[in-house]
């Protein structure tokens, strides 16, 4: 068990290193330089040269790569070219917006998907099951940014119930108000993900229900309700928990796009600004943090799975 | 009659006095990288600090006129080679120190030195000496008369801080304005506070002003409606302005800016090295349509490289009336026709949605004159490097927001690649005269000359659109220079 | 929804039964979209780029079936041009993912050893980068435009295909007939193409269909973010981007409604087709 954990951890770190190196290389190939973007139409060759030197952009790529890597190893993601302050600080700040969106969306998705999935599985083939399947198909097919637009039109423009865009100045100092601004984005992402999750819950439960011990339980004359609630659910929960972990990563990505719809200054906006401004340290930082979330969640899910399911053995 | 006037003035003064105090939050679209205008290029610095915090000897008022700021008055010699400024007395910097001629001398000796890191040493190229005759008199001597001398002194780059203070100005600017810099919360905003030691005891009316960075126009609208901000300082989109005009809680300020939305043509390469082709392009553009469709009625037609917000402006938009047939005729003369249509690439810069939309609409208009423009969207850094610095393009579109910038046409390397000895001669006449009236006439001639040569297509003056809560008074109606001037803004009670 | 590029894990059961009416429904939808796009190429309703100044934001009418946009362009024509664009980008992107991915997967799976290890580690790293983010970066490298979208989406789809192909190869490799072929002295390439490829074709086709749906969503997302297809080419995502501010200002909802529905319908079609195909082609999915 311990050897497996360590091996798995080592692999995760190797993966992260590879991913970040890949990003560093890709970013090197992005044409244009940040100095031109900063100076704009005012560009004067001497001033540009000085700025390029101050930003360390005249150093060879390999040297930049190693100093960046050394920084990352000590938890320093460097200084943003566009903002002139620490990339880590910028990312932490944007996470105070993106993480709540992701967590709330995940909660919403779970609250909808688990009961719906159970109901659909219990009456597999019925009308409700069909509706749940349809819901799942729609959730997969509707583009989130469009759903967000429609919500803005309905709830903000027409009904005027909720703000359409942005995040209040006071931020989380006034949590209720802040939540009002997150309502539409969370609804947009949460509904979409719940569609997918419903499908998973249903599938997972159906599989368990077809297994021998459930048949035995039924054979003993237990009511369907007891069979489902006492026996099947517990076992069906395992894959669902796994999915929830992976879902978190998907939600982060969904948030990147949906943040744009609602003008929220989260991780997504940071990534886009970074790319547009050719702010190399910022882009690398954001991508690394996202990759870290994904790799870490994969790792946790893997380990948790083994821990929860005695059938999984480690070789 | 005169008494009545006086009474009215006193009443107005009283009304304003009653409306003293309060705080104002203004949204601006971007965050500046630093706050020192002498080292960092960013219109946002001027928007936040110009006249509010940082002042120079002279300044531009809302009408675009040059008026006294730290200099009470000035006198130019008959030759135009000596300028004598009498400074205001009892002016204090925000750090409590006194403003004297020493600060002025330090400032301009540094500014005119190309090695000092000042961004625009060329503004001060003609200055030979700056000297303090006494603590409140400064004398500038020039190599040659320079009509733009005072204008350059009114620029944000010419504002004056305490002598010797350089690096700290980047993050904590100190000036002499009615507001002092209080805090810069990165990513959030810049806060200004009332400066009690301001030399005009009437000003300012407000106690606190916050400039909040909100990069998304729609988020700005949402924040305004939610009461998070009191004003959107500039850059309200036409569609949002239209919607806000219907809302009784807000008012929309709509005026002119210094931005000429310019369709740049490469005058040195085919097809636009042929003046017949450039003229045909002018006839193929219907500015009224563009204004009504893309801009939803906001903006002002222009026909040359100067904006109606500025002085000595002459409207050239009527020189070429929309006439696709005339365009076809000119193109036929130049050898283009149905068998051999005029084709070129029209490059649009990715970050500017309105210029992109105007470009798209213009391409549709060109088609009616048998002209085929192939649209190409390029990223900002590509635009700067390839088109602006490299001159590698055929046609492009961008807003030129620098004020008083017709002089760029004297530079044959500038991306329009326009090279006209007559224009250059005319510009020298303008720059070197010491007769302001004559200079103004020449400035109009310059605008006419550009239009006659059909160098570029100047489409329209980018509208200045601000949105305010109903009780916000005294907002600048136009933008003769980028400035969210709040020195005389008050909240009606 | 925005895991657009990664494709959900193959599920074991079709939700709509064994006869897979889902394939038929999906197929009909896809066929309709393809036909509409082709028909618009052959005989467009109107020029999708023709501006009708003075007729902006028109509601649906006999002249403009679905209304007009901010330049008075016919939304129906632009929608069809957008279909053409989406299918084109999707086809190339999926092609890149399928060819590159299967090649990598087959090679890694069949040859095994250190090559397998390296390829799998590389794919693992690629997997750790959110596909959409990877696409954003690649779009920045190649400059905004349809071409970079295709490449970006295609490259981002490689890992899914490669994993599938590799897993398939490993399963087939263990089969007695492959061992027999090997014993009979068949060359590696012969074995791969004669025995391995036909056996993993099914899952790959299923994946291609699902990836097509993902590619259409991804293209729309990239274009919505301003990094995909550029003017004047009509793209569903960019239409939405441009329409958004007019929608929020209450000017006209139509330019925002249709492109979203078009994306949803097309994606639904490909997803249903993929689901249905899986029941037919993917032997592992049989219950």
pLDDT digits (tens, 9 = 90+) for A273-309: 888 778 888 888 988 888 888 888 888 877 777 666 6
Alpha-carbon A198 to chain mean position: 18
Per residue in A169-202, pLDDT (tens digit) is 777 888 888 888 899 999 999 998 888 888 888 8
Residue C89 lies in a domain: yes
More confidently predicted of B174 and A39? B174
CA angle B137, B140, B146 (to 5 degrees): 140
- Give the closest residue to B314 by CA, choosing from B214, B450, B221: B450
Beta bridge partners of A130: none
Burial class (CB in 10 A: 0-12, 13-18, 19+), C81: buried
Three-state SS at B137: strand
Topology at the third CATH level for domain B179-256+464-491: D-Maltodextrin-Binding Protein; domain 2 (3.40.190)
Predicted pLDDT at C2:
40
Helix ranges (DSSP H) in B154-263: 217-225, 238-245
Given an 8 Å threshold on Cβ–Cβ distance, is B351 in contact with A90?
A: no
- Across residues C126-151, what is the average pLDDT? 79
- This complex has an ipTM of 0.83
Q: Which stretches does DSSP call E strand in B137-188?
A: 137-142, 179-185
Residues of A in Cβ contact (< 8 Å) with B188: 169
The SS3 assignment for B375 reads: strand
Q: Which residue would you say has higher pLDDT here, B392 or C41?
A: B392
* pLDDT at site C5: 42
Looking at the partner chain, which of B31, B186, B388 has a beta carbon nearest the beta carbon of A41? B388
Q: Is C279 among the domain residues?
A: yes
Nearest to A237 by CA among A149, A157, A309: A309
Cβ contacts of A29 on chain C, cutoff 8 Å: 141
Global confidence as pTM: 0.83
Among A228-237, C64-73, C126-135, top mean pLDDT goes to C64-73
Contact B357 C226 (CB under 8 A): no
Task: Please give the DSSP secondary-structure letter assigned to residue C74.
Answer: B
Strands B179-185 and B137-142: unpaired
Contact B357 C248 (CB under 8 A): no
Which residues, numbered 28 to 57 in chain A, qualify as contacts with chain C under a Cβ-Cβ cut-off of 8 Å? 29-31
Tell me, yes or no, whether C53 lies in a domain: no
Q: Is residue C19 part of a domain?
A: no
* CB-closest option in B222, B351, B398 to A163: B222
Give the per-residue pLDDT at B13.
Answer: 61
| Of A23, A196, A290, Cβ closest to residue C8 | A196
Cβ contacts from B onto C, under 8 A: 69
What stretch of H or E contains B132? Answer: strand B127-134
* DSSP bridge pairs for B261: B399, B460
C9 CB near a chain A CB, below 8 Å? no
Query: C245 and B292: CB-CB below 8 Å?
Result: no
A167 contacts on B by Cβ (under 8 Å): 219
Tens of pLDDT along A101-128?
A: 999 999 999 899 888 888 888 887 888 8
Which residue on chain B is closest to C50 by alpha carbon? B364
C151 located within any domain: yes
Chain B residues whose CB is inside 8 A of the A265 CB are 187, 215
Residue-level pLDDT at B318: 93
Would you state the pLDDT for residue A1?
A: 63
Q: Is residue C33 part of a domain?
A: no
Subunits with 3+ Cβ pairs within 8 Å of B are: A, C
DSSP annotation of A108: H
pLDDT score of C140: 77
By C-alpha distance, the chain A residue nearest B115 is A46
pLDDT of residue C8: 44
Contact B293 C144 (CB under 8 A): no
Structure-block tokens of residue C10: 């193959």
Asked, for residue C207, whether it belongs to a domain, the answer is yes
Q: What are phi and psi of B301, to 5 degrees?
A: -65, 140
Residues A265, B215: C-beta atoms closer than 8 Å: yes
Say yes or no: B381 contacts chain A, CB-CB below 8 A.
yes
**For residue range C226-285, what is the model confidence (pLDDT) as tens digits?**
888 888 888 999 999 888 888 877 788 899 999 999 999 999 999 998 888 877 765 554
Decide which of A73 and B205 is more confident: B205
Highest-pLDDT range among A86-90, B135-139, C128-132: B135-139
Q: Residue B201: helix, strand or coil by DSSP?
A: coil
Tokens 């368990």 sit at which residue? A208
Q: Where in chain B is the domain with CATH 3.10.105.10?
A: 260-461
**All domains of chain A in start order, with CATH:** 2-73 (no CATH), 88-308 (1.10.3720.10)
According to the model, what pLDDT value does residue C6 have? 41
A75-89, B257-271, B429-443, C74-88: range with lowest mean pLDDT: A75-89
Q: What is the CATH number of the domain that holds C234?
A: 1.10.3720.10
B251, β-bridge pairs: B468
B20-to-B23, B46, B94, B193, C238 alpha-carbon distances in Å? 10, 25, 21, 14, 48
Write the CATH number of the domain with boundaries B54-170: 3.90.76.10
Name all contacts of B28-31 with Cβ < 8 Å and 24+ positions apart.
B28/B211, B28/B212, B28/B213, B28/B214, B28/B233, B28/B234, B28/B235, B28/B484, B29/B213, B29/B214, B29/B215, B29/B217, B29/B220, B29/B234, B29/B235, B30/B213, B30/B215, B31/A83, B31/B186, B31/B187, B31/B213, B31/B215
Instruction: Establish if B364 touches chain C: CB-CB under 8 angstroms.
Output: yes
State the chains in contact with A (3 or more Cβ–Cβ pairs under 8 Å): B, C
Range of the domain at C253: 74-285
CATH class of B260-461: alpha beta
Beta-carbon separation of B240 and C50 below 8 A: no
| Interface residue ranges in chain C relative to chain B, Cβ cutoff 8 Å | 49-51, 53-54, 56, 70-72, 140, 143-145, 226, 230-232, 242, 244-246, 248-251
Angle between helices C131-142 and A280-308 in degrees, nearest 10: 160
Closest chain C residue to B243, measured at CA: C249
Does the CA dihedral B240-B245-B247-B251 come out positive or negative?
Answer: positive
- As a whole number of angstroms, the distance between CA B243 and CA B238 comes to 9
Residue that the structure tokens 């899952």 belong to = C203
C18 to chain A, any CB pair closer than 8 A? The answer is: no
What tokens appear for C98 in the block?
A: 């399928």
Q: Which residue intervals of C8-112 are DSSP H helices?
A: 21-42, 75-111
Per run of 10 residues, the mean pLDDT along chain B (length 493 residues) is: 61 64 91 85 90 96 93 92 94 94 94 80 90 94 93 94 88 95 89 95 93 85 87 92 90 93 95 96 95 91 93 94 94 93 93 88 92 89 86 95 90 94 96 90 96 96 94 93 93 87
Say yes or no to pLDDT of C286 above 50: no
C144 contacts in chain B (CB < 8 Å): 350, 377-379
Region of B378 on the Ramachandran plot (φ > 0 left; ψ -120 to 50 alpha; else beta): beta
Q: Is residue A310 pLDDT above 60, yes or no?
A: no
DSSP line for C208-251: HHHHHHHHHHHHHHHHHTTSSS-TTS--HHHHHHHHHHHHHTTS
- The total domain count for chain C is 1
**Spatial CA neighbour of C89 closest among C29, C32, C135:** C135
């Amino acid at each position: 068990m311990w050897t497996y954990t360590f091996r798995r951890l080592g692999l995760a770190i190797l993966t992260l290193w590879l991913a970040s190196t890949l990003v560093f290389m890709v970013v090197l190939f992005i044409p244009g330089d940040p100095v031109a973007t900063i100076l704009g139409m005012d560009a004067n060759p001497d001033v540009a040269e000085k700025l390029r030197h101050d930003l360390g952009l005249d150093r060879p790529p390999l040297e930049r790569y190693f100093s960046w890597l050394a920084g990352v190893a000590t938890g320093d993601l460097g200084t943003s070219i566009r903002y002139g302050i620490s990339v880590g600080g910028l990312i932490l700040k944007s996470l105070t917006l993106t993480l709540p969106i992701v967590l709330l969306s995940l909660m919403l998705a779970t609250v909808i998907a688990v009961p719906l999935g159970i109901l659909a599985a219990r009456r597999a083939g019925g009308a409700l099951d069909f509706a749940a399947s349809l819901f799942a198909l729609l959730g997969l097919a509707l583009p989130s940014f469009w759903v967000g637009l429609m919500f803005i039109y309905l709830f903000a423009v027409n009904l005027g119930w909720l703000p359409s865009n942005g995040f209040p100045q006071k931020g989380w100092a006034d949590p209720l108000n802040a939540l009002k601004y997150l309502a539409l984005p969370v609804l947009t992402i949460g509904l979409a993900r719940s569609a997918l999750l419903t499908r998973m819950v249903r599938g997972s439960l159906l599989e368990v229900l077809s297994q021998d011990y459930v048949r035995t339980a039924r054979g003993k004359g237990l009511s369907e309700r007891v069979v489902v609630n006492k026996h099947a659910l517990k076992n069906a929960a395992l894959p669902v928990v796994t999915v929830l972990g992976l879902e978190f990563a998907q939600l982060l990505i969904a948030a990147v796009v949906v943040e744009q719809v609602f003008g929220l200054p989260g991780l997504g906006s940071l990534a886009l600004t970074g790319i547009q401004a050719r702010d190399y340290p910022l882009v690398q930082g954001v991508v690394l943090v996202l990759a870290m979330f994904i790799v870490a969640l994969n790792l946790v899910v893997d380990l948790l799975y083994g821990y929860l399911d005695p059938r999984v053995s480690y070789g | 009659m005169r008494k009545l006037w006086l009474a009215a003035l006193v009443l107005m003064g009283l009304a304003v006095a009653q409306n003293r105090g309060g705080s104002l939050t203004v949204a601006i679209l971007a965050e500046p990288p630093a706050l020192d205008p002498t080292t960092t290029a960013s219109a946002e610095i001027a928007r936040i600090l110009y006249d509010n915090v940082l002042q120079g000897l002279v300044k531009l008022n809302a009408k675009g006129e040059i008026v006294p700021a730290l200099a009470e008055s000035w006198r130019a010699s008959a030759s135009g080679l000596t300028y004598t400024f009498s400074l205001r007395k009892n002016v204090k910097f925000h750090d409590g120190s006194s403003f004297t001629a020493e600060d002025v001398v330090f400032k301009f000796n540094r500014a005119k030195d190309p090695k000092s890191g000042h961004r625009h040493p060329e503004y001060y190229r003609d200055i030979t000496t700056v000297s303090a005759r006494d603590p409140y008199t400064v004398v500038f001597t020039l190599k040659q008369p320079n009509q733009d001398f005072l204008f350059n002194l009114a620029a944000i780059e010419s504002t004056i801080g305490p002598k010797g203070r350089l690096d700290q100005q980047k993050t904590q600017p100190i000036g002499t304005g009615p507001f002092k810099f209080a805090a810069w919360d990165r990513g959030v905003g810049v806060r200004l506070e009332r400066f009690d030691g301001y030399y005009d005891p009437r000003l300012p009316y407000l106690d606190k002003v916050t400039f909040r960075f909100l990069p998304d126009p729609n988020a700005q609208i949402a924040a305004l409606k939610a009461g998070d901000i009191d004003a959107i300082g500039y850059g309200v989109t036409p569609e949002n302005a239209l919607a806000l005009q219907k809302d009784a809680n807000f008012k929309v300020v709509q005026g002119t800016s210094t931005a000429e939305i310019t369709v740049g043509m490469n005058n040195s390469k085919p097809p636009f090295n042929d003046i017949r082709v450039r003229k045909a392009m002018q006839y193929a553009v219907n500015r009224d349509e563009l204004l009504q469709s893309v801009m939803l009625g906001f903006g002002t037609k222009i026909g040359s490289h100067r904006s109606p917000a500025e002085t000595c402006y002459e409207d050239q938009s009527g020189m070429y009336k929309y006439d696709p047939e005339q365009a076809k005729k000119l193109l036929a003369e130049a050898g283009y026709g149905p068998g051999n249509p005029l084709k070129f690439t029209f490059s649009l810069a990715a970050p500017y949605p309105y210029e992109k939309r105007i470009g798209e609409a213009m391409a549709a208009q060109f088609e009616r004159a048998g002209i085929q423009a192939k649209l190409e969207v390029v990223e900002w850094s590509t635009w700067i490097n390839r088109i602006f610095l490299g001159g590698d393009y055929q046609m492009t579109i961008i807003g030129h927001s620098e004020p008083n910038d017709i002089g760029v046409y004297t530079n044959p390397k500038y991306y329009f690649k326009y090279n006209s000895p007559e224009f250059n001669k005319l510009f020298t006449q303008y720059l070197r005269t010491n007769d302001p009236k004559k200079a103004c006439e020449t400035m109009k001639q310059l605008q006419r000359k550009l239009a006659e040569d059909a160098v570029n297509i100047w489409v329209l003056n980018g509208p200045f659109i601000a949105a305010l809560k109903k009780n916000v008074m005294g907002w600048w109606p136009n933008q003769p220079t980028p400035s969210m001037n709040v020195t005389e803004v008050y909240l009606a009670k | 929804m925005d895991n657009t590029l990664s494709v959900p894990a193959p599920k074991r059961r079709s939700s709509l039964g064994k006869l897979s009416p889902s394939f038929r429904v999906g197929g009909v939808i896809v066929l309709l979209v393809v036909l509409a796009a082709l028909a618009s190429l052959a005989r467009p309703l109107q020029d999708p780029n023709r501006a009708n100044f003075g007729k902006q934001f028109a509601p649906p009418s006999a002249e403009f079936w679905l209304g007009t946009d901010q330049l008075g362009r016919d939304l129906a024509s632009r929608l069809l041009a957008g279909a053409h664009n989406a299918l084109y980008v999707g086809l190339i992107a999926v092609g890149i993912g399928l060819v590159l991915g299967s090649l990598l997967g087959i090679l890694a799976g069949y040859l095994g050893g250190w090559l397998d290890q390296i390829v799998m580690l590389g794919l693992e790293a690629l997997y750790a980068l959110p596909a959409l983010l990877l696409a954003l970066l690649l779009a920045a490298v190649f400059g905004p435009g349809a071409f970079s979208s295709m490449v970006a989406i295609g490259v981002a789809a490689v890992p899914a295909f490669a994993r599938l192909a590799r897993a398939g190869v490993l399963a087939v490799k263990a089969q007695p007939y492959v061992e027999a072929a090997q014993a009979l002295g068949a060359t590696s390439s012969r074995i791969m193409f004669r025995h391995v490829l036909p056996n993993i074709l099914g899952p790959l086709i299923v994946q291609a269909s699902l990836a097509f749906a993902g590619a259409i969503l991804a293209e729309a997302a990239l274009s919505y973010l301003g990094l995909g297809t550029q003017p004047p080419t009509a793209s569903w995502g960019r239409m939405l981007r441009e329409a958004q501010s007019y929608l929020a200002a209450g000017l006209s909802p139509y330019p925002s409604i249709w492109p979203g529905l078009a994306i949803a319908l097309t994606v639904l079609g490909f997803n249903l087709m993929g689901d249905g195909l899986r029941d037919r082609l993917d032997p592992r999915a049989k219950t």
